[in-house]
Amino acid sequence: MTSERGAVELIDVTKRFGALAAVDDVSLEVNAGEFLSLLGPSGCGKTTTLRMLAGFEQPDEGHIRISGEFVQGIPPYKRDVNTVFQHYALFPHMTVAENVGYGLRQRKAPKAEITRQVGEALEMVKMSPLANRKPRQMSGGQQQRVALARALVNRPSVLLLDEPLGALDRKLRQEMQIELKLLQSELGITFIFVTHDQEEALSMSDRIAVMLDGHVEQLDDPDTVYEQPATAFVAAFIGQNNFWQGRATDDGMVAGDGTVFVTSRASLVTPGGAALAAVRPETVTLSAADPGAMMNAASGTVAGVSHLGDVLQFVVHTASGQEILSRLPRHQAPKLVPGDAVWCTWSPEHCYVFDADQADRVILDPVEETAAG
């Protein structure tokens, strides 16, 4: 692993809370200057991983290196990292400028240096005109910018972001996603970003580490994670999928209702073994005409049509009770209404086959965020 400033490495890291292994033997490398997202549901271990990098928690096993230096036992304030939290943690009695300069004052930096660095940090996040305001006089988006400026004022080698956009409304969150990525690219600082929001991770990250039960399920760039999910959980958690259960064949799967799946993707399921097939809604085409195909096709009845802006979503019920989602651009969607008979088809490159042992991992029960999150 390189000792380059901003490079991060976790080596066989485990963190337990009682009998629970919140992070379980995780090894992970983050390149200097990379935007990496830790993505997963509540309780998957992403926040615990971030807290160990920050120094708020210590691993029970394994090692962590930042910029080539082992950091176990080093307190947060002595690490060359800073953290931005979801609720910002701004001091209500301080002005914007005082909040941003707090860390510099604690280090007893010269006043002229504090003034210069605070000014640069506020300019960076477009908050210079509000330097003398108090947090209560600002919107959530403005407070978030101040928290960013405070974390960046010392130009840390690594910036850790724990669900920093979670308190913003959807429109502002999308705007801040763009600004965060532009800021990270401009500064060249390593960003490690914790989120449960797939869209956030896909839109901003250079790479995504998808986590579940304290493990990294897949670590790849956004295109690969979406187009080539390594597990059924990743396929279900990133976007949406239609799932069928059945028996694996040499080139795909036969579902319990007789639907034949042929895939051009590699399958690790032994022919004859219990399998799980997945097809994304945006790859399912609809037609009233029988395609005449004996594979990658299923007939059913339109049960519902939803308008999602420039996309139409169709819900199709088959005779066996299978529900199939199809999402099509409005200008390409056929004119169908509930009750219409329809054929659903998809191509071999858009079909995935997983081991059926993963079937119980594609249904996520909502749980409260915990210390293991």
Whether 163 has a pLDDT exceeding 90, the answer reads no
Q: Of 177, 200, 227, which residue constitutes the final position of a domain?
A: 227
CATH code of the domain covering residue 76: 3.40.50.300
The answer as to whether 94 is a domain residue is yes
Residue 20 in tokens: 């629970």
371: confidence class by pLDDT, cuts 50, 70, 90: very low
pLDDT tens readout for residues 169-199: 777 778 788 888 888 888 889 999 999 989 8
Whether 255 has a pLDDT exceeding 60, the answer reads yes
- Could you give the number of structural domains in the chain? 2
Largest CA distance in the chain: 78
What is the share, in percent, of the chain residues with pLDDT greater than 70?
Answer: 95
Q: Which of 137, 128, 134, 191 is nearest to 164 (CA)?
A: 191
The answer as to whether 2 is a domain residue is no
Q: What per-residue confidence (pLDDT) applies to 165? A: 78
Q: What per-residue confidence (pLDDT) applies to 285? A: 96
The answer as to whether 369 is a domain residue is no
The answer on 306 and 208 residing in a single domain is no
Q: What is the mean pLDDT of residues 353-363?
A: 75
The answer on 238 and 130 residing in a single domain is no
* Domain interval for residue 331: 232-361
The answer on 237 and 221 residing in a single domain is no
367: confidence class by pLDDT, cuts 50, 70, 90: very low
The answer as to whether 341 is a domain residue is yes
pLDDT tens readout for residues 200-209: 999 999 999 9
Q: Of 227, 255, 280, which residue constitutes the final position of a domain?
A: 227
Whether 229 has a pLDDT exceeding 80, the answer reads yes
The answer on 251 and 128 residing in a single domain is no
Q: What per-residue confidence (pLDDT) applies to 369? A: 38
167: confidence class by pLDDT, cuts 50, 70, 90: low
Whether 360 has a pLDDT exceeding 60, the answer reads yes
The answer as to whether 145 is a domain residue is yes
The answer on 82 and 120 residing in a single domain is yes
Q: How far apart are CA 203 and CA 76, in angstroms?
A: 29
CATH code of the domain covering residue 243: 2.40.50.100
Q: What per-residue confidence (pLDDT) applies to 224? A: 95
The answer on 249 and 171 residing in a single domain is no
The answer on 210 and 284 residing in a single domain is no
365: confidence class by pLDDT, cuts 50, 70, 90: very low
Q: How far apart are CA 97 and CA 16, in angstroms?
A: 39
297: confidence class by pLDDT, cuts 50, 70, 90: very high
What is the share, in percent, of the chain residues with pLDDT greater than 90?
Answer: 59
The answer on 79 and 32 residing in a single domain is yes
The answer as to whether 156 is a domain residue is yes
pLDDT tens readout for residues 50-101: 999 999 999 999 999 999 999 988 999 889 999 888 777 788 899 999 899 8
Q: Sign of dihedral through CA atoms 234, 239, 245, 246?
A: negative
Q: Which of 38, 39, 6 is nearest to 192 (CA)?
A: 38
Kindly list the distances between the CA atom of residue 268 and the CA atoms of 221, 229, 230, 272, in Å, as whole numbers in the listed order: 22, 13, 11, 12
Judging by DSSP bridges, how do beta strands 69-70 and 61-66 pair with one another?
antiparallel
Burial 340-357 (b: 16+ CB within 10 A, else e): bebbbbbeeebbbbbbbe
Specify whether the backbone of 193 is left (phi greater than 0), alpha (psi in -120 to 50) or beta. Answer: beta
Q: Which of 169, 162, 118 is nearest to 139 (CA)?
A: 169
The answer on 350 and 211 residing in a single domain is no
The answer on 332 and 195 residing in a single domain is no
Indicate the average pLDDT of the chain.
Answer: 89
The answer on 339 and 250 residing in a single domain is yes
Kindly list the distances between the CA atom of residue 295 and the CA atoms of 262, 274, 320, 337, 348, in Å, as whole numbers in the listed order: 7, 19, 16, 25, 9
Kindly list the distances between the CA atom of residue 342 and the CA atoms of 106, 119, 296, 350, in Å, as whole numbers in the listed order: 68, 62, 14, 20
The answer as to whether 106 is a domain residue is yes
Q: What per-residue confidence (pLDDT) applies to 123? A: 87
pLDDT tens readout for residues 112-131: 988 899 988 888 888 888 88
Whether 267 has a pLDDT exceeding 90, the answer reads no
Q: What's the whole-model pTM score?
A: 0.87
The answer on 326 and 201 residing in a single domain is no
Q: Of 227, 246, 263, which residue constitutes the final position of a domain?
A: 227
Kindly list the distances between the CA atom of residue 183 and the CA atoms of 1, 124, 192, 216, in Å, as whole numbers in the listed order: 26, 8, 14, 27
The answer as to whether 314 is a domain residue is yes
